[in-house]
Amino acid sequence: MYLHKTALAMVALGTLGRLSAADTTPASQPDYVLQPYDLVRVVVFQEPDLGREVRLSPDTTLTLPLIRTVDLKGKTVREAQDIIRTLYDQDYLVNPQINITVLEYAKVSVNVLGAVNTPGSVLIPPDQGLKLLDAIAHAGGFNRLADRKRVKLSRTDADGKTATFVINADDIIQSTSLDQWPLQKSDVIYVPERLL
């Protein structure tokens, strides 16, 4: 795994745990899967007129000079570079060198509703993910009426099918549940109120 120079220095100092997102450059993450609305910089070596900063469309495509629309759905940064290299190599350039850098990650969020102090949307950090209890904490935590034993998580898969899970948050808090429930884009967490 490639580590940014700053990260290598911090490993030597024993401070890697305090790295911020700004310390790890997106360019050092060739296996990052591109998402709709990511802002990327495409550089074609020695061809400045072909370079662009462009935001990916909702269907994860981008438009570049000469090769037009490129479909990058489900592709990593490395795979996107290979695809664009191949397209330019077919008709326009000889052995082009392509570099893609993610300048701004798309905002990916979950919704936390019900008996929490500040219900609403919670962003998932692109570099580390988010777990169920963390999302509830970002939404102000459980309010005094919350039924922590019947938290509902609704998740829609790629085929459009929705599954709902009932989770006992007290088990997670008391560490009797090994599953921490890492969240995915567009998950909905609903905390019901206790029956009084």
- Band the pLDDT of 93: cuts 50, 70, 90: very high
- Band the pLDDT of 177: cuts 50, 70, 90: low
pLDDT of amino acid 186: 84
Tell me the domains of the chain and their CATH numbers. 20-104 (3.30.1950.10), 108-191 (3.10.560.10)
Report pTM.
0.60
- Quote the CA–CA distance of 120 and 12 in Å, as a whole number: 41
Residue 166's Cβ-count burial label (10 Å; 0-12, 13-18, 19+) is exposed
The first and second tokens of residue 149, run together, are: 């034993």
Residue 104 reports pLDDT greater than 70: yes
